Structure 1
Amino acid sequence: MDFDVIVLGAGIIGVSSALHLQDRGRRVALVDRRGPGEEASFGNAGLIERSSIVPYAFPRKLGTLLRYARNQSTALYWDYKTLPSFAGWLARYWWESSPQRLAAAARDMLPLIGQSVAEHDALIARAGVGELVHADGWIEAFHDRATFEREAAEAEVAARQHGLRMVPLDGAALRARESALGEGFCGGLHWQDPKAVSNPGALTKGYARLFEAGGGLLLLGDATTLRAEGGAWTVDTAQGRISAKEVVVALGVWSDTVFEPLGYRIPLRGKRGYHMHYQPARGMLSVPVVDSEQGYVIAPMQGGRLRLTTGVEIARRGSPPTGIQLERAERLARPIFGLGERVDPAPWLGMRPSTPDMRPVIGPASRHRGLWFAFGHNHHGLTLGPVTGRLLAEIMTGETPFTDPRPYRPARFD
């Protein structure tokens, strides 16, 4: 049970990293406590988000801050008891979200975002999961006309600057395109370059099957048993202890359970979010629609269902689900999108692994030989899985990386 590399975490980041390392001749074991794609890679809105050039920043407008402070927003809910433990992280997030620093973050993220669709396309073709992916983009919808006109003008500039395809739709054009929509939106922006996945968990499982077909081994195991022993790294699995010269930590929001005992203080937090599936009462959407002002997404999913995904909940990782955001979003979305009965017995709760500087952590650990990190992709884990796997594998195998990896280096937090 000796390997060249052990990858801890079988979400989209870990599976993609394992595949790219395998493609470069490495013998790889992929270890998780569950099956592939069963955490955050399962519950998202299914967007391969080529058009999100600017990261999700801490709001700076006074009106938005006051609305969030009242804790009545659909886009954000925060638990009073949790705020003290998040205070330092939120303060740095606010600092990193200044216009100048946010522009720098956008520049740093552009190479990954720009390559995201192409890297997915390559794995989709190899894995034979094209039926899960749709190339019609998504729609950013607005209630307020002044907001829509302002955002449309800014979006046209950004689209020209970055070579993106964007079509503005007034209210009539929006409803003509998406006949299932009721009244409520005055217009929308149709971003055409992104792709939508009708079952994100199944996509990740499809990539994992490709990994296994290439000779990779998928094992159930406990990442917290990771130890450095005799010049190698060992992990306990259901099949016994395995070892490798190198190990990749790709555990999403749980990555701290491995890196903190090793002495690393990376500011990683989980932005919680919920989803629920509904029967469509008026018909299906053709593309995901984001209620830009209220902060939720309605996405068409496999099996003729609509998935509502919420904004951000700030709460401790182990806190029980509240469902508050889901209830707020459902009240707003039901008449506009024609949501029928709930399908799931209970809301799904997941966590987006986030860093305050809005960049992922990709690269070598600074104090342990053979230890590599790949986590902290904020709201874009699904989008950035394959491109992260490629970049990490290039660094690990001594290839010339397709982009400068320094903005994502773990040592920036030392």
Structure 2
Amino acid sequence: MKADVAVLGAGIVGVAAALHLQTRGRDVVLIDRRGAGEETSFGNAGLIERASIFPYLFPRDVKKLAVYAVNGLNEARYNWRDLPAFAPFLLRYFIESAPRRALDHALSVRPLIEACLDEHEKLMAQAGASNLLRKTGWLKLFRGEQSFAQGRAAAEAIRPFGLNVAILDAPALRQVEPSLREGFGAVHYLDPASISDPQALTLAYLKLFEARGGRFLRGDAASLRPASDGYGVATVEGPLLAREMVLCLGPWSDLALAPLGYQIPFAVKRGYHRHFHAGDSSLSRPALDADRGYLLAPMAQGIRLTTGAEFARRDSAPDFTQIETSEVFARKLTPLGERIEQTPWMGCRPCLPDMLPVLGPAPRHKGLWFNFGHQHHGLTLAAVCGRLLAEMMTGETPFADPTPFAIERFG
């Protein structure tokens, strides 16, 4: 089999990239070892984070770092046995979170954040999936004046970027979400949207891709091999030769890069979720309990409880400490019903230390392209990064400067 382009990885990032390339006249094949949207794209909080100009930064407060060191905060945990594996990444993450560097990273990603929702809405309209979109923003609630003050300051910092926030005291918070029983106050981020079923969105994009003539094949990225006239990969349906290849492998990207000679400071942050029947909770938008480190989001499957970050090896055994602790906190916040599944889901977020994706051509392999490392914002950036990548690959003038996302920034 032959194709103009093969996209390895059928998460939301890969499917969106395939759609954009197909729209520009390329014969595209999408390849994954599993079904579309069954890995990282399955378990996110459903946010299209239009307000997330500033990336998630490594904390610089010494007292808070000391609490993290003993796993004293629910929002982030690490496994002692895995510390040697991810310590170099954490050091680089700390360096890249310095104020000047963080501002540079924010300015680099700003054009993508500003266009992220618009690009998704265009694809959703074409895919008949606009019913999955809720333009109700999300809440970041706080349990005391000190954290609320910090939250207000962070919200004010994004106003110069033309973003809208509402500051809610406790009574106003109850008016917006009556079933929340705790909370000193909250920031309502008004510009972001959320998805009621993230995997359903991925599948809707895939259906559109296939309806337009695209092919979805089962195959393993480990079989990727450079060929004289492109790249070959083995699939269940038979060998495929593509003139160009796009790696959208999320938390497994390093496994494909290493045999090609690319070494980058790559790591994963693991996360967990569990669904609950709504019970007496009337939650109508995602709500982050900032002081307890978890998020609740109303989904088609029920109310989804998602955890913060767990630093561990990608394939280490699950540790359900965060999700169990979060459930205790969440039941005090809102009257959740019974668990829908007993075993929590676990997934991995692909992260680079500057919290920017790798997007663009491989410097030593003509026809090989990268689109991975979207950290906490895979859903947010999928459609807009698909557009930027497709513009680069087809010779269009990119709508944003892709230089900050090049893999060469790591040497």
Identity across matched positions, percent? 51
Give the alignment's TM-score, normalised by structure 1.
0.98
Contact 2:245 2:369 in 1 (8 A): yes
Q: How does 1:39-188 map to 2 (within 5 A)?
A: 39-159=39-159, 161-182=160-181, 184-188=182-186
Distance 2:407 2:214 in 1: 27
Distance 1:92 1:362 in 2: 20
- Aligned-pair CA distance for 1:131: 1.4
Give the alignment's TM-score, normalised by structure 2.
0.98
Task: Please give the secondary structure, in 2, of the residue aligned with 1:233.
Answer: strand
Q: Pick the aligned partner of 1:360 from 357, 364, 383.
A: 357
Partner in structure 1 of residue 10 of structure 2? 10
Structure-2 change in CA distance of 1:92 and 1:210 (3 Å): same
Task: Please give the secondary structure, in 2, of the residue aligned with 1:224.
Answer: helix
- Aligned-pair CA distance for 1:112: 0.7
Distance 2:230 2:100 in 1: 43
Cα distance per residue 1:106-153 (max 9 Å; x no partner): 111111111100000000100001111101110110001132134214
Q: Does the alignment pair 1:409 with 2:406?
A: yes
Structure-2 change in CA distance of 1:271 and 1:207 (3 Å): same
Partner in structure 2 of residue 383 of structure 1? 380
Contact 1:112 1:384 in 2 (8 A): yes
Partner in structure 1 of residue 270 of structure 2? 272
Distance 1:323 1:340 in 2: 20
Whichever residue aligns with residue 243 of structure 1, its letter is L
Partner in structure 2 of residue 203 of structure 1? 201
Distance 1:190 1:200 in 2: 22
- Aligned-pair CA distance for 1:337: 1.8
- Aligned-pair CA distance for 1:163: 0.9
Distance 1:133 1:151 in 2: 26
Distance 1:228 1:30 in 2: 18
Whichever residue aligns with residue 307 of structure 2, its letter is T
Contact 1:123 1:207 in 2 (8 A): yes
- Aligned-pair CA distance for 1:157: 4.1
Contact 1:288 1:299 in 2 (8 A): yes
Task: Please give the secondary structure, in 2, of the residue aligned with 1:308.
Answer: strand
Distance 2:74 2:84 in 1: 22
Cα distance per residue 1:17-40 (max 9 Å; x no partner): 100000000000000001111111
Whichever residue aligns with residue 280 of structure 1, its letter is A
Cα distance per residue 1:6-55 (max 9 Å; x no partner): 00000011001100000000000000001111111110000000011110
- Aligned-pair CA distance for 1:234: 0.6
Question: How many residue pairs end up in the alignment?
Answer: 411
Q: How does 1:241-280 map to 2 (within 5 A)?
A: 241-280=239-278
Partner in structure 1 of residue 221 of structure 2? 223
Partner in structure 2 of residue 306 of structure 1? 303
Distance 1:39 1:265 in 2: 24
Whichever residue aligns with residue 19 of structure 1, its letter is L
Partner in structure 2 of residue 296 of structure 1? 294
Structure-2 change in CA distance of 1:262 and 1:150 (3 Å): closer
Whichever residue aligns with residue 296 of structure 2, its letter is I
Structure-2 change in CA distance of 1:167 and 1:95 (3 Å): same
Task: Please give the secondary structure, in 2, of the residue aligned with 1:92.
Answer: helix
- Aligned-pair CA distance for 1:317: 0.9
Contact 1:142 1:185 in 2 (8 A): yes
Could you tell me which runs of 5 or more consecutive residues in structure 2 were left unpaired when the two chains were aligned: none
Contact 1:143 1:293 in 2 (8 A): yes
Cα distance per residue 1:342-369 (max 9 Å; x no partner): 1113100000000001110000011111
Structure-2 change in CA distance of 1:232 and 1:153 (3 Å): closer
Contact 2:18 2:30 in 1 (8 A): yes
Distance 1:81 1:198 in 2: 36
- Aligned-pair CA distance for 1:156: 2.7
Contact 2:281 2:336 in 1 (8 A): no
Contact 1:284 1:306 in 2 (8 A): no
Distance 1:340 1:73 in 2: 25
Task: Please give the secondary structure, in 1, of the residue aligned with 2:81.
Answer: coil
Distance 2:238 2:7 in 1: 16
Distance 1:282 1:175 in 2: 15
- Aligned-pair CA distance for 1:411: 1.4
Task: Please give the secondary structure, in 1, of the residue aligned with 2:303.
Answer: strand
Distance 1:367 1:154 in 2: 41
Distance 1:249 1:117 in 2: 23
Partner in structure 2 of residue 393 of structure 1? 390
Cα distance per residue 1:185-236 (max 9 Å; x no partner): 0111111111010100110111111111110000111111011122220110
Q: Pick the aligned partner of 2:312 from 308, 312, 315.
A: 315
Runs of 4+ residues deviating >3 angstroms: none
Whichever residue aligns with residue 22 of structure 1, its letter is Q
Whichever residue aligns with residue 174 of structure 1, its letter is L
Distance 1:83 1:380 in 2: 24
Q: Does the alignment pair 1:374 with 2:374?
A: no
Distance 2:305 2:239 in 1: 41
Whichever residue aligns with residue 87 of structure 1, its letter is A
- Aligned-pair CA distance for 1:329: 1.0
Contact 1:54 1:103 in 2 (8 A): yes
Could you tell me which runs of 5 or more consecutive residues in structure 1 were left unpaired when the two chains were aligned: none
Contact 1:362 1:375 in 2 (8 A): yes
Task: Please give the secondary structure, in 2, of the residue aligned with 1:119.
Answer: helix
